[in-house]
């Protein structure tokens, strides 16, 4: 039977609709544009959603310094300066007694700058040989070896402190001059509650309040020692340093190396008394110590001039962990101190002789 015209019209509409659907299904999807980079953000790598590790931040660089006293201008002094140059510290603490001869301050300064450079911070505090001018004058030494550290407070060469580094410091270094005579023939007054006593105590307290991790005190004369000298800085001044929890106290004067255990005050040790020994005043006797328990005293009078003998029968010997002198492993050298936020580590570096020592205080 012949197909009607109406049927043929409906079939054409159906076929047209089916062809349109077929064509639309085969047309590829238009690609989406990449995310805009106007925000400045870099897309995360595919398959990784971790944020950068905190450990990737650069480590805080340590402070490295050296210290020694009683130097002279002979061959041993030059060897010690050469050893300092090899260590490459950021600064050096010269703990007094420089030339042992009058009128040759410039010669001493030239020797130092020849070995360490004219801009190196070779930081001075007076010893008894130059405090009163009889073997050189501290005023002349500070002219030819001036302060090179920013932010120094006080009277350079006599009584001063500085924070290192200046921004976000790791250590406050406090240099004082108790127990030695100046031009008027009298020692500076560091007696209890004197102006210089308070200045030192305030410098220690302020370092703690500013949360500077470490405090180091330097001076020419020691209190505790295995030689012939008495406690020239004074018993009360020395116990104040312990009470204020100075971490390390450096000195020269006695031409030996001598380093105590950590000495601390407590209910059983109200004061550390010179020329005697009390076991109760030993806060820690290991070579690795904990900050806050006490103070380590290190005498580094081995910078180059003739050595003294150690008195191993000294009543204070129980306070000491290590020593060297003319009659026991004679050695010239320098103390190398490395300070980080978490530790203060010290090592005796020999320049002539072979005696060594090391200790560490941790937070």
The domain containing residue 280 runs over which residues?
60-362
- Residue 319 maps to a domain: yes
What tokens appear for 4 in the block? 């009607």
Query: Can you tell me the distance from the alpha carbon of 159 to that of 131, in angstroms, rounded to the nearest whole number?
Result: 12
Pairing of strands 159-164, 171-175: antiparallel
- Residue 157 maps to a domain: yes
Q: What is the pLDDT of residue 8?
A: 52
Between 282 and 52, name the one with better pLDDT: 282
- Residue 10 maps to a domain: no
What average pLDDT does this structure show over 173-184?
Answer: 95
Q: What is the pLDDT of residue 137?
A: 97
Q: Is the pLDDT of residue 34 over 60?
A: no
Give 182-185 contacts, CB < 8 A, sequence gap 24+.
182/126, 182/131, 182/132, 183/131, 183/132, 183/133, 185/132
- Residue 12 maps to a domain: no
- Residue 32 maps to a domain: no
Question: 3-state SS string over 152-168?
Answer: CEEECECEEEEEECCCC
Query: Can you tell me the distance from the alpha carbon of 127 to that of 182, in angstroms, rounded to the nearest whole number?
Result: 10
Indicate the Cα dihedral angle 110, 145, 336, 237, nearest 10°. Answer: 140
What average pLDDT does this structure show over 7-13?
Answer: 49
Confidence at 56, pLDDT banded by 50, 70, 90: low
Query: Can you tell me the distance from the alpha carbon of 76 to that of 91, in angstroms, rounded to the nearest whole number?
Result: 20
What CATH number should be reported for the domain holding residue 110? 3.60.21.10
- Residue 234 maps to a domain: yes
- Residue 25 maps to a domain: no
- Residue 123 maps to a domain: yes
Q: What is the pLDDT of residue 10?
A: 52
Query: 12 forms bridges with which residues in the sheet?
Result: none
Q: What is the pLDDT of residue 147?
A: 98
Q: Is the pLDDT of residue 49 over 60?
A: no
Cβ contacts of 52 within 8 Å, gap of 6 or more: none
Q: Is the pLDDT of residue 78 over 50?
A: yes
Q: Minimal CA–CA distance to 331: which of 260, 247, 259, 223?
A: 259
Cβ contacts of 290 within 8 Å, gap of 6 or more: 284, 361, 362, 363
Q: What is the DSSP string of 45-114?
A: PTT--PPPPGGGSPPPPPEEEEEE----SSHHHHHHHHHHHHH--SEEEE-S---SSTT-HHHHHHHHHH
pLDDT digits (tens, 9 = 90+) for 241-251: 999 999 999 99
Q: For the chain, what percent of residues have pLDDT higher than 90? A: 82
Number of domains in the chain: 1
């Amino acid at each position: 039977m012949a197909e009607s015209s109406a049927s043929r019209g409906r079939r054409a509409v159906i076929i047209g609709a089916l062809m349109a659907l077929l064509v639309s299904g085969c047309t590829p999807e238009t690609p989406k544009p990449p995310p805009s980079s106007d925000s400045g953000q870099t897309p995360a790598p595919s398959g990784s959603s971790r944020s950068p590790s905190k450990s990737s931040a650069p480590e805080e660089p340590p402070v490295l310094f050296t210290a020694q006293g009683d130097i002279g201008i002979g061959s041993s002094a030059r060897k010690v300066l050469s050893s300092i140059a090899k260590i490459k510290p950021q600064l050096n603490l010269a703990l007094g007694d420089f030339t042992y001869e009058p009128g040759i301050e410039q010669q001493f300064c030239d020797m130092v700058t020849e070995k360490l450079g004219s801009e190196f911070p070779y930081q001075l505090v007076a010893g008894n040989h130059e405090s009163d001018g009889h073997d050189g004058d501290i005023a002349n030494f500070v002219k030819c070896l001036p302060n090179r550290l920013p932010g120094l407070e006080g009277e350079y060469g006599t009584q001063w402190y500085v924070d290192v580094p200046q921004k976000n410091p790791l250590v406050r270094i406090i240099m004082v001059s108790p127990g030695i005579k100046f031009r008027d023939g009298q020692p500076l007054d560091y007696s209890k509650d004197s102006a210089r006593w308070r200045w030192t105590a305030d410098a220690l307290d302020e370092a703690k309040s500013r949360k500077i991790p470490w405090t180091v005190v330097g001076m020419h004369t020691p209190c505790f020692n295995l030689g012939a000298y008495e406690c020239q800085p004074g018993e009360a001044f020395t116990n104040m340093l312990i009470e204020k929890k100075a971490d390390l106290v450096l000195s020269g004067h006695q031409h030996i190396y001598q380093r105590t255990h950590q000495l601390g005050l407590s209910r059983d040790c109200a004061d550390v008394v010179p020329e005697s020994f009390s076991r109760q005043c030993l806060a820690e006797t290991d070579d690795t110590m904990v900050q806050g328990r006490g103070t380590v005293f290190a005498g580094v009078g081995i910078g180059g001039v003739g050595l003294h003998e150690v008195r191993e029968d000294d009543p204070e010997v129980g306070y000491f962990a290590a020593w060297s002198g003319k009659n026991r492993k004679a050695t010239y050298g320098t103390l190398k101190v490395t300070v980080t936020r978490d530790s203060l580590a010290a090592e005796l570096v020999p320049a002539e002789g072979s005696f060594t020592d090391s200790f560490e205080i941790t937070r």
